[in-house]
A and B are shown apart, each in its own frame.
Chain A
Amino acid sequence: MKDSLKISTLGLVVLALLFVVGCAKQPTEDMEKANAAVSAAAAGGAEKYAPAEAKALKDSLTAALDEVKAEDAKYFKNFDKAKGMLTKASADAEALKGTIAKKKEEAKQKATATQGEAKAALEDAKKLLAKAPKGKGTQADIEAMKADVKGLEDGLAEVQKLFDAEDYLQAASKATAIKDKAAGVSEQIKGAMAKTGKK
């Protein structure tokens, strides 16, 4: 009688445990929160400014959702690990937003600096052109170089458009190309001026 009571008690405890654990629910709130956080991070330019980090974040979210799925299919459900993974994905997404903002700002600073350098190089070329001999002499070369300068001005206008569109990476790449070309034009002008002895 005593033994059968013990067995019945044990059975009840096991059944209660099975009931409690088996009926654990998916952490939907955590899932939604993590999904939203990852989507928000990706929408903030993650692919452009932090692609590797964005990929790692998406992978960690997928792993967390897989963990939910795996637990959900079990009879003895325990979503603690999945919850931890989802919380980490949400936190990583927030951190990534900060990383992207930082990288974007860095790209903006770089684009601003390069744009400034390109403008300065172009101004140098224009000043040299203004000093170049007028009329005859090296006029053919000078007129051609004026056309070069116009092309560079067109390019700088494009840099500004890219800047306004917050495409700082391309803006910097174009500005660098303009800066180098402008320096080349200045060298050509100096060469043309040297031929006429004008300083």
Chain B
Amino acid sequence: MVFRREVFLGLLLFSIAGCSATPLPPEVKLAEVQEQSLWGAGATVYAPTEYDSYKTGLRKAKELLLKEEARLKWFRQYWPAQDEYKKVLAKGERVLKLVEERKAEKSSSVRARLQLYANRVETSGRLSSLINEGRLARRSLTRAEILIREARALYAEGKYTEAEARLAEVPEYLSAAEEAVSPILSRFVDKNHIVMWQRWVEETVANSKTTGAYAIVVSKVDRSLILYRAGKPIMTYNVGLGRNGSLDKLHAGDGATPEGKYYITKKLPRSRYYKALLINYPNEGDRSRFAQAKQKGLIPRRVGIGGLVEIHGGGKDGMTYGCVALENMQMEELYSSVGVGTPVTIVGAIDHKSGIAKALGGS
């Protein structure tokens, strides 16, 4: 009987103590949820140091909790762990805010770089087309464009750091493309060159004005041929140039279009390219430059100066071997207007506000 009473008292005491045990602080569960949110928000990527520090704090709180849980239920005091958890939660809020801020910054910076690089690809592509030198730049530009496309897709998925990694490779290809065309481009924005070309054009136009005759001016950068009469422009045609048309012709086979003051030496009514106007390339200046280059060993010994440079039909969308090409209908008009002896001045650019100068951001 006494034994039964003792057992009963023991069970009663145990039950009372069990019921009065302190429950786990709510901060414990909240911290678990917060930690998952931080990870999901990308804390390991955008605030790794702060996240590590947060995790250390969380661990410390957890250790305190474990220590308390090791005690018998009725001796447990959760407030030290609870205080630690509260600190962790406050820190977590700050880290989460930081992650969001850094993520927004990254998004903005990647978006800006995407735009910047896309613009540079577009500009370099346009410039290389302007000077007919797409083949020099486009291989590198294509590599850059592939990376930009990849980065754009990753950006759309919110993978900013991966997008950034792709963009980090772009400048290498952009520089290669820009370096390939910049020596050619630089001629078209060089003041000394432009002043010389302007003088040639002014002299040609002044002569046309004085004599009342026709004169032709070809501007390479504008890909245009202007027909003057009595010093006034009466027609402008779009033209195509040589394979290396943006360069000044130096020797046979270089595919360049000559720059200088020439005149029509012969009219060819039946040409391979519809009709043609032969000009007097090489002139005296061309011969002198050729001789100097030969002397310096810049031209192979057996290579001649070249010739048979024409203004002809066949279509302006072409890549000639150094000639100036027009659409057949326009060639017909031009052919019927001009005669042997008509001055033909070919220049790189007429003014400082050429397409290339504009594209390069020059004045």
Q: Which residues of A contact B (CB under 8 A)?
A: 3, 6-7, 10, 55, 66, 69-70, 73-75, 136-141, 143-148, 150-152, 154-155, 173-174, 176-178, 180-181, 192, 195-196
A77 — nearest CB in chain B belongs to which residue? Answer: B70
| 23 pairs, A vs B, C-beta closer than 8 Å | A74-B69, A74-B70, A136-B273, A136-B314, A136-B319, A136-B325, A137-B317, A139-B318, A140-B129, A140-B134, A140-B240, A140-B318, A141-B317, A144-B129, A147-B134, A147-B138, A148-B138, A150-B139, A151-B138, A151-B139, A151-B140, A181-B149, A195-B317
Tell me if B315 is interfacial: C-beta within 8 Å of chain A: yes
B241 — nearest CB in chain A belongs to which residue? Answer: A140
- Taking a contact as CB atoms under 8 Å apart, the answer to whether B70 and A151 are in contact is no
Contact residues in A for B318 (Cβ distance below 8 Å): 136-140
Tell me if B122 is interfacial: C-beta within 8 Å of chain A: no
Contact residues in A for B243 (Cβ distance below 8 Å): 139-140, 143
Tell me if B142 is interfacial: C-beta within 8 Å of chain A: yes
- Taking a contact as CB atoms under 8 Å apart, the answer to whether B134 and A141 are in contact is yes
* B residues contacting the other copy or chain, number (CB 8 A): 40
B137 — nearest CB in chain A belongs to which residue? Answer: A147
- Taking a contact as CB atoms under 8 Å apart, the answer to whether A137 and B2 are in contact is no
Contact residues in A for B150 (Cβ distance below 8 Å): 173-174, 176-177
In the complex where A144-B128, A144-B135, A150-B139 touch, is A139 in contact with B319 (Cβ < 8 A)? yes
CB of A139 to closest CB in B, whole Å: 4
CB of A28 to closest CB in B, whole Å: 18
CB of A1 to closest CB in B, whole Å: 13
What separation, in Å, do the CA atoms of A178 and B2 have in the docked complex?
A: 90
CB of A67 to closest CB in B, whole Å: 9
Contact residues in A for B137 (Cβ distance below 8 Å): 147
- Taking a contact as CB atoms under 8 Å apart, the answer to whether A66 and B66 are in contact is yes
CB of B87 to closest CB in A, whole Å: 19
Contact of A143 among B2, B6, B142, B319 (CB under 8 A): B319
Tell me if B358 is interfacial: C-beta within 8 Å of chain A: no
What separation, in Å, do the CA atoms of A3 and B317 have in the docked complex?
A: 118
In the complex where A136-B325, A144-B135 touch, is A66 in contact with B62 (Cβ < 8 A)? yes
What separation, in Å, do the CA atoms of A139 and B139 have in the docked complex?
A: 16
CB of B115 to closest CB in A, whole Å: 17
CB of A121 to closest CB in B, whole Å: 12
In the complex where A151-B138, A151-B140 touch, is A136 in contact with B315 (Cβ < 8 A)? yes
Contact residues in B for A173 (Cβ distance below 8 Å): 150, 153-154
- Taking a contact as CB atoms under 8 Å apart, the answer to whether B134 and A143 are in contact is yes
What separation, in Å, do the CA atoms of A75 and B71 have in the docked complex?
A: 8
Among A140, A148, A155, residue most surrounded by chain B Cβ atoms (within 10 Å):
A140
DSSP class of A's interface residues: helix, strand, loop or mixed?
A: helix
In the complex where A70-B66, A151-B140 touch, is A180 in contact with B149 (Cβ < 8 A)? yes
- Taking a contact as CB atoms under 8 Å apart, the answer to whether B319 and A151 are in contact is no
Can you name 16 extra interface pairs (CB under 8 A) apart from A145-B138, A151-B142?
A: A73-B67, A73-B70, A74-B70, A136-B319, A136-B325, A137-B318, A139-B319, A140-B319, A150-B142, A152-B142, A154-B142, A155-B146, A174-B146, A176-B150, A177-B146, A181-B146
In the complex where A66-B66, A147-B138 touch, is A154 in contact with B145 (Cβ < 8 A)? no
What separation, in Å, do the CA atoms of A143 and B132 have in the docked complex?
A: 9
Of residues 70 through 92 on chain B, the ones whose CB sits less than 8 Å from some CB of chain A are 70, 72
A180 — nearest CB in chain B belongs to which residue? Answer: B149
In the complex where A69-B66, A151-B143 touch, is A143 in contact with B135 (Cβ < 8 A)? yes
Contact residues in A for B314 (Cβ distance below 8 Å): 136-137
What separation, in Å, do the CA atoms of A7 and B240 have in the docked complex?
A: 115
What separation, in Å, do the CA atoms of A1 and B273 have in the docked complex?
A: 134
Of residues 1 through 46 on chain B, the ones whose CB sits less than 8 Å from some CB of chain A are 2-3, 6, 39
- Taking a contact as CB atoms under 8 Å apart, the answer to whether B139 and A140 are in contact is no
Q: Mark B148-165, 1 if CB is under 8 A from A, else 0.
A: 011001100000000000
A144 — nearest CB in chain B belongs to which residue? Answer: B134
Among B2, B141, B146, B243, residue most surrounded by chain A Cβ atoms (within 10 Å):
B146
Among A75, A152, A177, A196, residue most surrounded by chain B Cβ atoms (within 10 Å):
A177
Among B129, B139, B140, B315, residue most surrounded by chain A Cβ atoms (within 10 Å):
B139
- Taking a contact as CB atoms under 8 Å apart, the answer to whether B129 and A177 are in contact is no
Contact residues in A for B69 (Cβ distance below 8 Å): 70, 73-74
Contact residues in B for A196 (Cβ distance below 8 Å): 315, 317
Contact residues in B for A150 (Cβ distance below 8 Å): 139, 142
A156 — nearest CB in chain B belongs to which residue? Answer: B146
In the complex where A143-B134, A174-B146 touch, is A151 in contact with B317 (Cβ < 8 A)? no
- Taking a contact as CB atoms under 8 Å apart, the answer to whether A70 and B317 are in contact is no
Of residues 99 through 113 on chain B, the ones whose CB sits less than 8 Å from some CB of chain A are none
Contact residues in B for A73 (Cβ distance below 8 Å): 66-67, 69-70
Tell me if B219 is interfacial: C-beta within 8 Å of chain A: no
